[in-house]
Amino acid sequence: MQQSEFLNVVMPFKDKLYRLAKRLLVSKEEAEDATQEILLKLWSKKKSMETYKNVEAFAMTMTKNFCLDRLKSKQAGNLKLVHSNYQEKGSQLQTQLEAKDSVSWVEKIMQDLPEQQKMVLQLRDIEEYTNDEIAAMLDMQPTAVRVALSRARKTVREKLVQKHNYGIG
């Protein structure tokens, strides 16, 4: 497989990989590094890539595993403080949404969700994959995906309503 061919395959979903990585790792730089790493891994596997049924789903699963490993090693390496101190500045999205404060609340609320719910919500509501696709990517039962999705949505709603009522939002 040539490089241009590879890029054609990868281009449509590289942003999705990046967004999933960012959702899990929070920091922009780390998400970029993770995405880069995953694309390079894919490139090194380019010979077997044609045999995969769905490269996109495969890459998504890779991203999920990679980021979860990262998070785990980070916890073991006691780097968590650095991580939670991270404050994002100057991201396109952030500046765009600065006026709508309550919208960025949703992002903060999502940060507090358990990893699995985070991923399910990300893949479903932002990337708009079907539940079956998500189940395959995350190696879950389709019913479990639905339950996690419902829970995640309800948690976000609950916290959002709280903020709304306190007038913080």
Partner 1 sequence: MELDKIEKLVEKYFEASTTIAEEETLKEYFSQDAVAKHLEQYAPMFQYFSGAKDERFTKQLKLENSISKTTKSKFNFKWLSVAAVALLTIGIYFGNDYRLQAEEERIATEFAYQETKKALNLLAENFNKGTEKVAYLNHFEQTKQKIYNE
Q: Which residues bind partner 1 (CB under 8 A)?
A: 3, 6-7, 14-15, 17-19, 22, 32, 35-36, 39-40, 43-44, 91-93, 96-97, 100, 102-107, 125-128, 130, 146-147, 149-150, 153-154, 156-157, 160-161, 164, 169
- Count of beta carbons in the 10 Å neighbourhood of residue 13: 17
Which of left, alpha, beta for 88 (phi over 0: left; psi -120 to 50: alpha)?
A: beta
Compare residues 74 and 151 and give the one whose CB is closer to partner 1.
151
Task: Output the smallest distance, CB 74 to partner 1, in A.
Answer: 21
Compare residues 6 and 58 and give the one whose CB is closer to partner 1.
6
User: Please, which residues have CB within 8 angstroms of residue 62's CB and are 6 or more apart in sequence?
Assistant: 38, 41, 42
Task: Output the smallest distance, CB 18 to partner 1, in A.
Answer: 4
User: Please, which residues have CB within 8 angstroms of residue 117's CB and are 6 or more apart in sequence?
Assistant: 148, 149, 151, 152, 155
Report d(CA 34, CA 103) in Å as an integer. Answer: 26
Report d(CA 84, CA 27) in Å as an integer. Answer: 9
Task: Output the smallest distance, CB 11 to partner 1, in A.
Answer: 10
Task: Output the smallest distance, CB 75 to partner 1, in A.
Answer: 25
Compare residues 88 and 115 and give the one whose CB is closer to partner 1.
88
Compare residues 36 and 61 and give the one whose CB is closer to partner 1.
36
Task: Output the smallest distance, CB 98 to partner 1, in A.
Answer: 12
* Residue 126 C-beta-side C-alpha neighbours within 13 Å: 17
